[in-house]
Amino acid sequence: MLYYKSYGRQGLKQSAAVGARPLPTWRYRKNPLKKRSQAMAEINWRDSWDSALEEAKKENRRVLLELYMDGCPHCMRLHSETHADAGVVQEVNSKYIPVRLDGRKNMDIVKKFNVTGAPTTLVFEADGQEVQRFPGYYSPADYLKQLEKAG
């Protein structure tokens, strides 16, 4: 009532209108324009570390290991944006044996390579020797730079 008396009827209506606005939900809605097309090329992920290492030895290629966790927003963004980029897909499929593992289900791998956060991408030689490690989310351009550093 004090507010009504000091600012008048119009001030009360405006403050009620401002205060009654719903929270902006546009930030949380999925963008339909970002849907991945079925025709787009995708990274040919393997789901076994041991078989990927064997394949890398046979083909004399490096292994790209990505450790993620379900529900991790940075992991989902890395997978939906960076791994969907045509340049990243071409680079990874042509030069690496890619493996994508859930860190919660593969704790032995997490402990073996001393991974402390998700997502973490590791690059290995065919013999299993670690070459490069880059934790966290990277844009497609930065991801390609990291792969270039790995050689």
| Structure confidence at residue 20 (pLDDT) | 55
The stretch 61-84 carries a mean pLDDT of 94
% of the chain with per-residue pLDDT over 90: 70
The pTM of this model reads 0.72
The stretch 2-31 carries a mean pLDDT of 51
What span, in angstroms and rounded, lies between the C-alpha atoms of 87 and 148?
Answer: 12
Average pLDDT, the chain: 82
- Lowest mean pLDDT of 30-39, 87-96, 100-109, 135-144, name the range: 30-39
Q: Looking at the predicted structure, is the pLDDT value of residue 34 above 90?
A: no
Neighbours of 68 (CB within 10 A): 20
Q: Looking at the predicted structure, is the pLDDT value of residue 102 above 70?
A: yes
Domains and CATH numbers, the chain: 43-150 (3.40.30.10)
| Structure confidence at residue 69 (pLDDT) | 94
- Give the helix/strand (H/E) hosting 124: strand 120-124
